Chains A and B, each alone.
Chain A
Amino acid sequence: MANIAAQRIKREFKEVIKSEEVAKCAIKLELVDNNYTELKGEIAGPPDTPYEGGNFVLEIKVPETYPFNPPKVRFITKIWHPNISSVTGAICLDILKDQWAAAMTLRTVLLSLQALLSAAEPDDPQDAVVARQYKENLDMFKLTARHWTNAYAGGPSVNSECDDKIKRLVDMGIEEHQARVALSSYNWDLERATEQLFS
């Protein structure tokens, strides 16, 4: 029974390669090792969201009990989203946990994650800081998410104000990512971010 996982991934892999989403560059799937236990996924940020224009890379680990248990998926590309940890990339999505069903495939998982990017669920957060910002200051959240998409996922939207603030912290000897996290968490308030970093 152990090779049912490998057999199925092989079939799914072929299915994804032929699918029209790949043709439209919406999703991508690559093998990492030859025994079909680890794959690399990629999804395009959906249009009309702060993630538009970005490409988000995912780590997909297929358990031996697949498809009876869900694959383990995590964002490798850093992303600012209420249901995705900005630190580890861990995802809070029901179908990757208790709502998994054996007929779901890697293709449907990738499409579900893309849907998650356009419809966040702040009441069931993975990253509490991001979720609070989403609920309290949606514009600030969108600005931050767009900035992160530009910084980590190759998004086109450049926000020079954010970049300037980060540069000032970097000049003070702070590592760039750390500076970005601090500023993002404090709604781009340079003073409070500095305070937190040096306290």
Chain B
Amino acid sequence: MASPSPSTSHDINEPRDGGDTQNTKDEEKKDENLLECNICLDTAKDAVVSLCGHLFCWPCLHQWLETRPNRQVCPVCKAAISKEKVVPLYGRGSTKQEDPRDKVPPRPAGQRTEPEPGNNFSGFGFGDSGFHMSFGIGAFPFGFFTSTFNFGEPRPNVATHGTPMYMEEQFLSKVFLWLAMIFIAWLLFA
């Protein structure tokens, strides 16, 4: 199937007289093919396009999604799709919704996001490094455990060896360790 199609080579070898009109006709035809719905193979009406880039009539795609509610995949490439993740295509002058379709719900509306502002505000740091929050559930002392066992969570770097910051951190961690041990002992012996 990978072999070059014979029709292409044929086109090249074709005699050139009156070739111009032929070419424009061919191009028009090609354009039509490009705008065909992948389900009904007709020119797409109420056109929508999936995020994987495949064109459908909205009524056709809607019926396909209804047929298999549990397995919503693109009819062409089988990528995961859903009603919400479909983009309508509006040609010029087609914005007025003339026919309120009874059976088919209206085409999902286009979503518009504001363009990103320039790089001026990136200095505040939220955008770059992400914003992390964590929840601890339980009484006060358990908070130590939750914070101790939160592996894999990005945390501020450990202060470098020798600085007063480092000493302070070491001291604090020892205090908390003792507190935890005393608490466990109390739990066991009380």
Contacts and interface: CB of A to CB of B under 8 A. Distances in A.
B5 A68 contact: no
A103 B38 contact: yes
A68 B63 contact: yes
B75 A7 contact: no
Interface string A118-158: 00000000000000000000000000000000000000000
Interface in B37-93: 38-42, 54, 60, 63-64, 67, 71, 73-76, 78
Contacts of A103: 38-39, 54, 75-76
A68 B74 CA distance: 12
Contacts of B73: 101
A23 B7 CA distance: 11
Contacts of A98: 71
Contact of A68 (B1, B64, B76): B64
A11 B7 CA distance: 20
Given A101-B76, A101-B78, A102-B64, A7 B42 contact: yes
Given A20-B5, A65-B67, A102-B75, A12 B60 contact: no
A20 B63 CA distance: 32
Nearest to B66: A68
The secondary-structure label for the interface of chain A is loop
Contacts of B40: 4, 7-8, 67
Contacts of B5: 20
A8 B40 CA distance: 6
B60 A102 contact: yes
Nearest to A4: B40
Given A23-B6, A68-B67, A101-B75, 19 more contacts: A7-B42, A11-B41, A20-B5, A20-B7, A67-B39, A67-B40, A68-B63, A68-B64, A69-B67, A98-B71, A101-B74, A102-B38, A102-B60, A102-B64, A102-B75, A103-B38, A103-B39, A103-B76, A111-B1
Interface of A: 1, 4, 7-8, 11-12, 20, 23, 65, 67-69, 98, 101-104, 111
16 contacts: A4-B60, A7-B40, A8-B40, A20-B6, A67-B40, A68-B64, A69-B67, A101-B73, A101-B74, A101-B75, A101-B78, A102-B75, A103-B39, A103-B54, A103-B76, A111-B1
